[in-house]
Amino acid sequence: MQARPERFSTPCLGGLRLHAAHWGREEASTLVLLHGGGANLHWWDHLAPELARSFHVVALDFRGHGDSDHPEELQVGAFDRDLEALQRHLGAPELALVGHSMGAHVALRHAAASPGVRKLVLVEPSVGAERRERRRSRLALAARRSYATRAEALARYRFVPATPGAPEKLRAAIAEHSIRREADGRFAFKFDPRWFGLPAPEAPRLSDIRCPCLVVRGAESTLLPSAGARELVEQLPHARLAEIPGGSHNVHLEEPDAVLEALRVHLEAPAELPGPHPTTLEARE
């Protein structure tokens, strides 16, 4: 199934243009995929076609990432406005959200503010991590790097944090969509590292999130430790936890089949709210 790319803008973006990709039938229920910091929508390419068997899947490049505009001005909360603009552009009063890492936090804030979110999946939001672990990832993303040739940039492209379980074929495929030529003729990765020096937006009130929620954790993750994941699930009114054996922070790259199964179980189930006590979904080996 081929993606259908588009660039769009809405009045609330003030002339900024964002890049998105679509899979599946547009008359189906809308499912939006949100990437993490320093990534782009192509981090979902291996999962989106399978999800599109049941949904109209839309993946977004946040501003300063991928093929969306890279503005000079940086604004706290700008990624939240990008998601709001996408929902208006789609004309979708209801949608389901799947966010990874930074994208999970954007999805969480949107779900707290919008009654139109019917299902929510948070893949590896950074909750409860030690300060040095968060700092290590932010420093890796904030470093500016460029290379003399496209071939060198492709060869040097790495997932952050380190993702030893991701297949080399997948790394190479994502790298092909993650390099751009700069004004000076050198080649760099398609994200603006300045965004990682901004403070995070105000955290949402979790009790405002009324839709069914699934938290997905890689069992080897240090950015979402087990205690942090369980605390988050306990604070959300209607949430379950899926722990994926063998995965780390970029679990959807390392264990895509297990993540896809967990997403399908949650997203395709009737929109019935879990009981008052959180339930753990045991991922299959």
pLDDT by residue for the chain (285 residues), tens digit each? Answer: 899 999 999 999 999 999 999 999 999 999 999 999 999 999 999 999 999 999 999 999 999 999 999 999 999 999 999 999 999 999 999 999 999 999 999 999 999 999 999 999 999 999 998 888 777 777 778 778 899 999 999 999 999 999 999 999 999 999 999 999 999 999 999 999 999 989 989 999 999 999 999 999 999 999 999 999 999 999 999 999 999 999 999 999 999 999 999 999 999 998 765 544 344 443 333
- pLDDT of 101-134, one tens digit each? 999 999 999 999 999 999 999 999 999 988 887 7
Ordered by where they begin, the domains of the chain are 4-282 (3.40.50.1820)
Beta pairing class for 146-147 and 187-189: antiparallel
Rounded Cα distance, 124 and 121, in Å: 10
- The pLDDT value given to residue 276: 43
Angstrom distances, CA of residue 263 to CA of 48, 55, 68, 193, 251: 11, 12, 26, 30, 13
Whether the CB-CB separation of 283 and 261 falls below 8 Å is answered with yes
Whether the CB-CB separation of 119 and 96 falls below 8 Å is answered with yes
Handedness of CA 165, 127, 272, 278 (dihedral sign): positive
- pTM higher than 0.85, yes or no? yes
Using CB atoms within 10 Å of the CB of residue 177, give its burial: 0 to 12 exposed, 13 to 18 middle, 19+ buried: middle
* Amino acid making up residue 281: L
Rounded Cα distance, 108 and 190, in Å: 25
